[in-house]
Structure 1
Amino acid sequence: MSRLGSGMRHGAIVLMLVALASCTAIYRNHGYVPRDEDLEKVVVGESTRDDVAQAVGRPSSTGLLTGAAWYYVGSRFRHFGARAPEEVERQVLAVSFAENGTVENVERFGLEDGQAVVLSRRVTDSNIKGLSFLRQLLGNIGNISAGQILNDN
């Protein structure tokens, strides 16, 4: 009986250690933002798009209309247990270009500088709210007319 008790005790300790380890936060990085050392190669008013591409690489997104700006976006997410991932850090580097193709401005924004913008919301409203599955299933009994049955044959 002593062996069974100590085995259960060891099992409980192992289970507690596994549970404790699963509650450790895991951080994941997404995207790319150039380092300051690389940005020193970009000179406002002189560097062109090709110079920026060579110094820091091409961005993941550009301005929508004319490509007048390049945006480098990097985010850091914290995954904690069964909770939804939480964005804890975001950096956006915006390199804007003048009409002649030279760098006009370089700006860096953080998570605290932005706000959430909903680009598209696609929700289909259901007209069956409040109806149980059984009521929906039985609700169509009697809705078939004899004319529909004859037309199908």
Structure 2
Amino acid sequence: MQKTQRITKFGLAAILALATSACAPIVRNHGFAPSDAELEEVIVGVDTRETVEDTVGPPSVSGVMRADAWYYVASSWETRGAFAPKETDRQVVAVSFDEAGTVQNIERYGLEDGRVVALNRRVSDDNIKGISFIRQLLGNIGNFTADQFVDN
């Protein structure tokens, strides 16, 4: 009887170990976003597309290249058991360039509760392209006087 109890206890322990290991999350990482240390080497107003590519590399397949900006996107997904994968982290780094190809703006965004949140932003003084029309319009409230609208 004692041997049967040992086998039963060992069997239950093995089943418990398998059951708990099946619940361990599977983490998958996709894309690439440069670290803050890498981005500190990029100087706004000085570096160009070529020097950014040498420093942090071009955007990967997960990123997007446009004429005026490069986007680096990295995300982490976690899967637990039979449940659908859930995105646990997303980093988006946007590097904007002016017409001459010089870095004009560097921003880092993160995913917080489904909202895009700016985590880091380095902007040259004369950048208004990244600001929406509504923000520009509302930013001018109080900057006008009545005599500016009267024809003389």
> Is the TM-score greater than 0.5?
yes
Deviation readout 1:91-145 (Å, 9 max, x if unpaired): 0000011111101100111113439xxxxxxxxxxxxxxxxxxxxxxxxxxxxxx
> How far apart in 1 are the matches of 2:18 and 2:64?
45
The aligned residue for residue 27 of structure 1 is 27
> How far apart in 1 are the matches of 2:35 and 2:87?
20
Shift of 1:9: 2.4
Is the CA contact (8 Å cut-off) linking 2:59 and 2:65 kept in structure 1?
A: no
TM-score by length of 2: 0.68
Alignment of 1:1-153 (within 5 A): 1-60=1-60, 61-64=63-66, 67-112=67-112, 113-114=115-116
Tell me, which stretches of 5 or more residues in structure 2 are unaligned?
118-152
Shift of 1:71: 0.6
> How far apart in 1 are the matches of 2:52 and 2:65?
15
Q: Percent identity?
A: 45
The one-letter code of the counterpart of 2:96 is: S
> How far apart in 2 are the matches of 1:62 and 1:46?
22
> How far apart in 2 are the matches of 1:99 and 1:107?
18
The one-letter code of the counterpart of 2:58 is: R
Is the CA contact (8 Å cut-off) linking 1:27 and 1:77 kept in structure 2?
A: yes
> How far apart in 2 are the matches of 1:63 and 1:6?
63
Shift of 1:32: 0.9
User: How many residues of Structure 1 are paired with residues of Structure 2 in the alignment?
Assistant: 113
Between structure 1 and structure 2, the one with the greater Rg is 1
Cα RMSD of the aligned pairs, angstroms, is 1.8
Would you identify which runs of 4 or more consecutive aligned residues in structure 1 move more than 6 Å? none
> How far apart in 2 are the matches of 1:27 and 1:105?
32
TM-score by length of 1: 0.67
> How far apart in 2 are the matches of 1:73 and 1:37?
17
Deviation readout 1:14-53 (Å, 9 max, x if unpaired): 1111101211223222211111111111111111000000
